[in-house]
Structure 1
Amino acid sequence: MTVRSGRPPARERIALGVFLHSLRWVNGGPGWAELARRTGLSVSTLQRTARRTGPVPREENVIAYVQGITDDPRAVTDVMRLWRRARIEERGRLRTLAAPAPAYVRNEADLLAALAAAYEKDGAPPLRTLQRRAGRAGDDVFVLPLANASRIVNRIRLPTDQRQYEAFLTGCNIPHRALGPWREAWHRAHTTHPATTRPATTDSRHPHP
């Protein structure tokens, strides 16, 4: 345990840092200055990214770090698995959700928890990143408005329709081939309690758009 806080070391953050350091060693470099040139990130940012302690680095910085060292796509897959674990550990929210798997969703409250869990399992990306991944309905219109995304991840309100629901799941990196149980969960929840949502903290008589 650490002397100051009495908390155990962040094991998943350590594992991420160890992987990033070992990647440079296995590939014989490059040095920090060269890696900075390749990635466009500063040396200090790269060094913070590869630390074994401290805040979990940004997703895009981790990917840039790896791609600056190797063009092997398996390295990106491996590091993103470690990054998500570190983010889950850092946020500490997933275990508090008690979210059912899609196949066990019974009602809208269950579905809200399952959606929040999907977001946490993906490392809780910034809402603008989630929105971008979810796709567009037109040249200047996103399928998932930021306000709706915020309400979903905070378990205040479900997506407005199935299109937005599936867009949210896409934004959480759930592949199209895995959407079957989620579609069933959507229909089951709406059939059971078509108008039930968790009470919002704001005045529900005047919902925000």
Structure 2
Amino acid sequence: MGRTENPVDHSVPSRGELADFLRAERRASGLTYDHLAERTGVSAATLKRAASGRVVPAEHTVVSFLSACASGPAKITLALSMRQRARRDERGGGARVNPLLIFAPYELAVGLVALHKNAGSPSYREMTRRAGGSHLLPLSSISRILNRRTLPVSQQQMAAFIEGCGVRAGTKAHDEWLAAWSRSREIKELRTGDNYVETIEHMMLNMAQEHSSRQGAIRRRLRQVAKSIDSGLVLAAVQAAAPHLIL
């Protein structure tokens, strides 16, 4: 008869919830941790720690654990979502960010940092793996983006970055983030003058028509952007506070 497990640590509730889920799946499978270790190639100690609630296990560990329990794709997807939430909560939570309200480059820079944090702060190597390889998302580029020293240099790199943060291609959220990147490029190229007013008005009309439920917020945000570009007050203030950051 195996030793009784210590109680799950619920000091971080979402982390404890994931541990409870893993333990329930192991019990349902009828396997011991030693049996799981044999099937996964992951040590029994690591598997026990994953189901302790004291740490957020690595994504690979969660997938291996549940695959060995024959839990099925739906439960593995659920567990990975729980892991993402636990990792985010463990690190102090994240700010809500709506890509529909991102226009200026500095807003995109802040938004991408928040997106990464809300995704549970995946490691650079994990992001590269999710994105499809370092040729699409180099580790050095991730570092510079997250330190707000650059923005994705192309739409392809933008797609790779958000996919590295768990935003799946073909989803509404994926399209909204790519649109935010495109808008930030347009705003960056604007200068005071006749063309800038026309571009802002055109952007306002298109956005309001595409997202009718958010017309008010989008219109207010675009007016703020137009005003900041015209006066230069917002950009100047940010640049004075942190000249190395993306503006």
> What TM-score, normalized by structure 2, do the two folds share?
0.68
Q: Secondary structure at the match of 2:170?
A: helix
Question: Which of residues 126, 130, 144 in structure 1 aligns to 2:127?
Answer: 130
Q: Secondary structure at the match of 2:46?
A: helix
Question: Which of residues 156, 167, 186 in structure 1 aligns to 2:181?
Answer: 186
Which has the larger displacement, 68-77 or 11-20?
A: 68-77
Aligned residue number for residue 101 of structure 2: 104
Q: Secondary structure at the match of 2:144?
A: helix
Distance 1:194-1:133 versus aligned 2 partners, 3 A rule: farther
CA deviation string 1:17-38 (max 9, x = no partner): 11111111223x2011111100
- 1:72-151 maps to which residues of 2 (within 5 A)? 72-92=72-92, 94-95=94-95, 100-136=97-133, 142-151=135-144
Q: Is the 8 A contact 2:94 2:118 kept in 1?
A: yes
Residue type at the aligned position of 1:13: R
Distance 1:153-1:188 versus aligned 2 partners, 3 A rule: same
Which has the larger displacement, 117-126 or 56-65?
A: 117-126
Residue type at the aligned position of 1:37: E
Can you give the 5+ residue segments of structure 2 that lack an aligned partner in the other structure?
1-9, 191-234
Residue type at the aligned position of 1:119: H
Which structure has the bigger radius of gyration?
Answer: 2
Which has the larger displacement, 170-179 or 9-18?
A: 170-179
CA deviation string 1:79-114 (max 9, x = no partner): 11110110001112513xxx5311110211211122
- 1:1-209 maps to which residues of 2 (within 5 A)? 9-27=11-29, 29-52=30-53, 54-92=54-92, 94-95=94-95, 100-136=97-133, 142-178=135-171, 179-194=174-189
Mapped partners of 2:112, 2:75: distance in 1:
28
Task: Kindly report the root-mean-square deviation, in angstroms, between the aligned alpha carbons of the 2 structures.
Answer: 2.3
- Give the percent of matched residue pairs that are identical in Structure 1 and Structure 2: 32
> What TM-score, normalized by structure 1, do the two folds share?
0.80
Residue type at the aligned position of 2:116: Y
